[in-house]
Structures are given as structure tokens and as C-alpha cells.
Structure 1
Amino acid sequence: MSAPEIALPGFDLSAFVEATLAEDLGGAADAARDLTATACLPADARLKAVLDSRDRVVVAGLPLAAAFFRRLDPACAIHMLVADGDEVAAGTDLMTVEGNARALLAAERSALNTLQHLTGIATLTRRYVEAIEGTEATLLDTRKTLPGLRHLEKYAVRMGGGQNHRMGLWDAPMVKDNHIAAAGGITPAVAACKAAGLSDITVEVDRIDQIEPAIAAGADRLLLDNMPPPVLREAVALVAGRVPTEASGGVNLDSIRAIAETGVSHISVGRLTQSAPAADVGMDYLE
């Protein structure tokens, strides 16, 4: 199958590809700036290569990898062997690319860096999704992303089966502990948000005694921060379904099942984007 288009609203993919290649090529997305490939290979040399996974992974970022190759060789032939979101075994071929050798080698590292990073996030996300399977909890990501890569990293979370939380500070209000402290309490903080015309307001609470004041103030959702499972269970019982509840803080693969079984509706995990190891994906020459 040919390389599909990738939908990333609000993200300038062309600019990202241009800037990433320019970083590796000394200021311009120009294959002629690759000293080694230019010295070793004739200008018309051809190359066919395969991108393959060395581990069991959930794939994310193949269309992005294709975009790097196409930027330096618009005529290159790309054949996708799997799709983003697929879980594949170690040794699986992901895609082939054929075209100008200098161009493809100049784009190789940028393509692989992006594919490895996003595939690592998707793979880790899938492990978390599997860990809470059968519960009522939904897995969410956070804003703990690498600067400039948020749209891509949140795309990878979706490929792994997780859901995106807010994209940033602009698309959903969340009243956190520092907002509460600066505003003089939960009630004035929420009241100020409502006066500003905001809706779907999440309020962070880290103590049981904050739950009723938050709901009474008009919170539409509660973020239960850094509460161990016994406290979370108590909090969920107290909320009694009046608003959705989100557990957050210190969640890992060892603890997430117990957290999900407390009855919270959502669990947000910063580790999905903050700590996912890169997947082992390589590019190899094909005879």
C-alpha cells in the first residue's frame, strides 16, 4: 500500500520535516550537504531499503518517515507493509523505500528518529491500555511532552489506544493547586473561571475534604491527585457519579490496575510521553 496522509490538525508537518532535516544537514534540507553520501555515491545512484522493527512494537509514525524521504526525493517509491496502530512482531518489515541513494541516506536518520520515538510511545501506551482492560477506566495522556512535538506524541498515544487529554492550556480549563492557592481557594478559582465564560472545568484536589467544596463550586470534573488506591476508592464513593473522576500522579504499569479498579473514570499518565523508550527500528539496504 502507498504511504497514507496523516491528519494532525494544528501541526505544520512540512515545517517540521524541513526544520528537522535542516538541523541534520547544517542549515538546509539539501541532500548535497550530506558529506559522506555525496563523496561515496554518484549523483544518480539508486537505493532500495527496508525499515524493519527489531522488537515487538505498536507502530506509529510511518507516514512521517515517508514525508522525510519524499522531501529529499519527491519521486521515491514507498510501499507500506503495515499501518500505524498495528502491533507487529520482532523482525517485521514495516515499509520499503526506493529512490535516489544520496537523498534517501540523507533523510534516513531524521525518518528513523521520528519513527522510533513515536513507535516507542505507542508501544508503551498499548501496555498501559492492556493493563486496565476490563475496567471502566479510560487512559489519558498529559501535557508532559517534548517541546515542539506535542501533536506528534499525542498522535502516537492515539495509535497505542489511549486518548488525548487537553492539547494545551488553550483548549480546556484545569484549576490546579497553584491556581487555587493564588486565587484564594477552590470556590473563588472556579467562580472566576465561570465568570470568564469557561465550561467543562476540571478541578485538582489532593485531599478528600476538598471534594465537596469543588463540586459545590461547580467543578465539572475532578482530578484526584496523588491519592493511593484506598483513598481513591473513598473519593469515588463520595463523588458518587456526580462528576467524572480522573486519577493522576505517580501512575506506572505496576500500579495502574489497582488504580483502575477503584472505579475512577479516567487515569492520566505522564510517562506515556515523558518516559517512553525509543523503539528499535532500523533501515537496511536491499539487494
Structure 2
Amino acid sequence: MTFSLDRFDLDAFVRATLAEDLGGEGDITSQAVIPADALFEGVMDSRDPIVVAGLPIAEAFFRALDPDVAIERLVGEGQSVPAATDLLRLRGKARAMLTAERSALNTVQHLSGIATMTRAYVDAIGGTGATLLDTRKTLPGLRVLEKYATRMGGAENHRMGLWDAAMIKDNHVAVAGSVGEAVRRAVAAGIERIIVEVDRIDQIEPALAAGATHLLLDNMGPPMLREAVALVAGRVPTEASGGVRLDTIRAIAETGVSYVSVGRLTQSAPAADIGLDFAAV
């Protein structure tokens, strides 16, 4: 089963991760204790209710060390499962399984944790018409995977990086001299997607007049958000951002904004409790 993500090299990720763990010396414990011809069967399972993300990457770790390993995926990516659900069943070389175990588990735990938190936020704004977005608050080197996990949880991706949309923030405005001038410079540069962060109502019209295609309404409470949405009147998408929590997101979404972005999805999600138990064959 092929797994690929844009701008992500799965093979290179697996090689680098295993190399970091092996340190050039190998898995000295397994080499000393486990016979080279020993076989294991194993089951990866969830200990808590989770939204699953990362199983294809876990499989890639095991296959990298044992190309003949038999793997049965028991659930789908993005699937909500209860506690005590079996996720993967494996059978193959014991040394390879033990060597790959931590890298595989770390990845699935981290990505499933993100997907699980994301689903909670998606559910919290159900029926409001607003869409949940992630942010660029990701761990270096893991952005593509973490943003994949938010999609598995039901969110949409914001900018993937600095390259796919302009986002004009207060520091850009300070240098340019005004919101309008900053936007005009982005338009003159030929940029199609121009997101403008505003934290005051009086910045909205100058941003729109200059050519903003998306307004990020930063750290505004629900009353100000409603005022901003009414002023924009559907001319461009609106996005509420800044300090959004699970207990506040619904009130924010109900103001009529198009999007709500939440940095904590990738910045603060706890790892899912997932285990992997082996038995000798």
C-alpha cells in the first residue's frame, strides 16, 4: 500500500530516524540477547480512545529493517477507535521488530495524539459553518507529518510554510508603514494569496481596499469578531486566531467567521497511549 505526502520523503525520514537511534553501533541489546533467527508476532493497540494517524509510517519502519515482515493493518487512518482496539498485527524477525519498535510507536503516538485533539476541536464547532485550521507551530522537520495528522482529525491546513501564501503581520506593517502599504507591496510582487492579520476594526477596510484575500482577526473577542464579520460582509474569508481553547472555540465559531485557527493542535497535543506487545513464535 503506497503512502506519500507532498514535500515529504518517507524513506529518508525512516532512514534518518533509525540512524539517530542506532548511532552507528546498532541495537546492541537485541543483538546480544535475541538470536538472529528468532521470530516475533506483535500487536499494536490503543490504550485510550483515539483518532488514528501514522500507521503507514510505522509500517515503513518495520519494513525498512525486515522487508519480509507480514503486517496487517486493522483500522484506517483518521478512524475513531475505542480503548483496547488493535491497530496493527505483525509477524517477522524479532531483532528487526525490537529495533524499529520505539521509532514506530513514537510516530503513531505523536500523530494520533494530534489527530485526537483535532477531532475534539472539530466536534466542538460542528454545525457552526466554521472550519478548523492548523498553524505553522510545528516541530522542525515534522511539519508535513503533523499537518497530515490534523487532516486525519478533520481540520484543514493553513499555510504549509512561508512559500505558499503571504501573511502580513504587525512587524511587516511596522516596516511598511501601514496595513494598506504592506498589502500593496504584496500585490505588486504578484502574490495571489495575501493573508492579513488585523487586531483592530479600523485596519479592515484599508487591508481590503489594497487587495487582501483573507483576513486573520487576531485576539478578538466574540463581540469584536461579530462586528468584523459584519463589516467584511463576505468579501473575503475571515479567520479567528489567538488563544483559542476547546472551551472557547464554539463561541468564537458562532460569530460567523469562516475559519478558526488553533496552534495548540500541533504545539501542545499529548501523545496518544499506544502500546506494542510481542510474543515469540
Instruction: Work out which of the residue numbers 83, 86, 95 in structure 1 matches 2:88.
Output: 95
Q: 1:286 offset after TM fit, Å?
A: 3.8
Structure 1, gaps ≥5 residues long = none
Is the 8 Å Cα contact of residues 50 and 286 (structure 1) preserved in structure 2? no
Instruction: Work out which of the residue numbers 169, 175, 185 in structure 2 matches 1:192.
Output: 185
Is the 8 Å Cα contact of residues 224 and 248 (structure 1) preserved in structure 2? yes
Using the alignment, how far apart are the partners of 1:23 and 1:11 within structure 2?
18
Instruction: Work out which of the residue numbers 111, 122, 128 in structure 2 matches 1:135.
Output: 128
Q: 1:177 offset after TM fit, Å?
A: 1.0
Q: 1:5 offset after TM fit, Å?
A: 2.2
Is the 8 Å Cα contact of residues 4 and 10 (structure 2) preserved in structure 1? no
Using the alignment, how far apart are the partners of 2:109 and 2:45 within structure 1?
11
Give the structure 2 partner of residue 74 of structure 1: 67
Using the alignment, how far apart are the partners of 1:27 and 1:258 within structure 2?
53
Amino acid at match of 2:23: G
Using the alignment, how far apart are the partners of 2:184 and 2:24 within structure 1?
50
The answer to whether structure 1 residue 14 and structure 2 residue 11 are counterparts is: yes
Q: 1:125 offset after TM fit, Å?
A: 0.4
Deviations 1:166-210, CA, capped at 9 Å, x for gaps: 100001111111111111111111111111111121111001111
Structure 2, gaps ≥5 residues long = none
Amino acid at match of 1:16: F
Q: Quick check: 232-241 or 121-130, which moved more?
A: 232-241
Match runs of 1:31-110 below 5 Å? 33-110=26-103
Give the structure 2 partner of residue 176 of structure 1: 169
Using the alignment, how far apart are the partners of 1:82 and 1:5 within structure 2?
16
How high is the sequence identity, in percent, across the aligned residues? 70
Match runs of 1:98-177 below 5 Å? 98-177=91-170
Instruction: Work out which of the residue numbers 215, 226, 245 in structure 2 matches 1:233.
Output: 226
Using the alignment, how far apart are the partners of 1:7 and 1:58 within structure 2?
20
Give the structure 1 partner of residue 251 of structure 2: 258
Q: 1:281 offset after TM fit, Å?
A: 0.5
Using the alignment, how far apart are the partners of 1:127 and 1:253 within structure 2?
8
Q: 1:218 offset after TM fit, Å?
A: 1.2
Using the alignment, how far apart are the partners of 2:148 and 2:34 within structure 1?
36
Partner SS, residue 52 of structure 1: strand
The answer to whether structure 1 residue 27 and structure 2 residue 24 are counterparts is: yes
Using the alignment, how far apart are the partners of 2:203 and 2:243 within structure 1?
20
Using the alignment, how far apart are the partners of 1:258 and 1:236 within structure 2?
14
Give the structure 2 partner of residue 285 of structure 1: 278
Using the alignment, how far apart are the partners of 1:172 and 1:212 within structure 2?
21
The answer to whether structure 1 residue 219 and structure 2 residue 216 are counterparts is: no
Amino acid at match of 1:154: K
Q: RMSD of aligned C-alpha atoms?
A: 0.9
For normalisation by structure 1, the TM-score amounts to: 0.96
Q: 1:9 offset after TM fit, Å?
A: 1.0
Amino acid at match of 1:10: R
Using the alignment, how far apart are the partners of 1:41 and 1:60 within structure 2?
30
Deviations 1:73-120, CA, capped at 9 Å, x for gaps: 111000000011110000000011111000110000000000000000
For normalisation by structure 2, the TM-score amounts to: 0.98
Deviations 1:130-173, CA, capped at 9 Å, x for gaps: 00000110000000000000000000001001000110000111
Using the alignment, how far apart are the partners of 1:108 and 1:220 within structure 2?
46
